[in-house]
Amino acid sequence: MGEETAPAVFVAADIVILTIRRGDFEVLLVRRGKPPFKGELALPGGFLEPGETVDQAAGRELREETALWAKDARLEQVGVYSDPDRDPRQRVVSVAYAAMVPDPPEAAAGGDAADTQWISVERALNEPLAFDHRRILTDAVEHARRQLEYTTAATAFCREEFTVAELRRVYEIVWQTKLDPGNFHRKVTRIEGFLEPTGETTTRDGGRPAGLYRAGTRRWLQLPLSRPDRS
């Protein structure tokens, strides 16, 4: 490794906290109270503190914002953003995370609730966002869409016990597509380790009672759930 010309920089973790609320794909943003970008929307995030890893910093930020522990969400690295001018104050290298969390993030927003808000992903992408956070949001959303295809991450958007139809709605909302209920049911229940039946049923969605499931232990799908009409 080289040595002396290297400047020390600040490292931050920025989190794209995604959820499904009111049939909508939403992200948690904070309104900045001080410069730079004062008054604009930004992703929650914070600097790396002494003695912690970046993953731990992300988990800490997630918990401060949503009162959720990292293990209850699906918290994954999306990428590193290091343009020299991305922060006008000083050099900041940011590690971006995508957090997929269930709907009512128990206690919707943590300490400084006043300036945090859930907002539709689609709308957020049309707002001005602070720093390079629009790019980060774009990448994290694409990351999440792919995760649904190749992994069991969709269960992270559901409450602890959920029906197959609720899981299907996650796919439909994140992918913005319609899926055949019958075929979807067959497919996900046949994949071993994806869903664990609880034996209970619920009628909370109306109609015939639906079986309840918990997330299984499998994380990767060998055959992906194909997303219609890819390019």
Interface residues toward DNA, by CB under 7 A: 163-165, 180-183, 185-187, 189, 201, 203, 205-211, 223, 226, 228
* Residues linked to residue 118 through DSSP beta bridges, in sequence order: 28
Instruction: Specify the pairing of strand 24-31 against strand 41-42.
Output: antiparallel
- Asked if residue 138 binds a copy of itself (CB under 8 A), the reply is no
Q: Which does 222 bind (CB under 5 to 8 A by kind): DNA, a copy of itself, none?
A: a copy of itself
Q: Are 78 and 146 in contact (CB under 8 A)?
A: no
The 10 Å CB-count burial string (b at 16+, else e) for 11-35 is bbbbbbbbbbeeeebbbbbbebeee
Residues 85-104 that bind a copy of itself (CB under 8 A): 91, 93, 95
Q: Which of 22, 190, 199, 222 binds a copy of itself (CB under 8 A)?
A: 222
* Residue placing its CB nearer to a copy of itself in the complex, 64 or 103: 64
* Residues linked to residue 99 through DSSP beta bridges, in sequence order: 17, 75
Sign of the dihedral through C-alpha 132, 138, 144, 150 = negative
* Residue placing its CB nearer to a copy of itself in the complex, 78 or 158: 78
Q: Which residue has the tokens 């040595």?
A: 3
Q: Which does 111 bind (CB under 5 to 8 A by kind): DNA, a copy of itself, none?
A: none
- Output the smallest distance, CB 170 to a copy of itself, in A: 21
Q: Are 156 and 100 in contact (CB under 8 A)?
A: yes
Q: Are 53 and 70 in contact (CB under 8 A)?
A: no
- Asked if residue 53 binds a copy of itself (CB under 8 A), the reply is yes
Q: Are 153 and 100 in contact (CB under 8 A)?
A: yes
- Output the smallest distance, CB 216 to DNA, in A: 16
* Residue placing its CB nearer to DNA in the complex, 81 or 162: 162
Q: Which burial class, exposed, middle or buried, applies to 214 when counting CB atoms under 10 A from its CB (0-12, 13-18, 19+)?
A: middle
- Asked if residue 52 binds a copy of itself (CB under 8 A), the reply is yes
Residues 146-205 that bind a copy of itself (CB under 8 A): 150
- Output the smallest distance, CB 142 to a copy of itself, in A: 11
Structure tokens at 174: 């994140």
- Chain mean position to CA 75: 7
- Asked if residue 51 binds a copy of itself (CB under 8 A), the reply is yes
- Output the smallest distance, CB 159 to DNA, in A: 14
By CB under 8 A, name the binding residues for a copy of itself: 1-3, 5-12, 45-55, 77, 79-80, 82-84, 91, 93, 95, 150, 220, 222-224, 226, 230
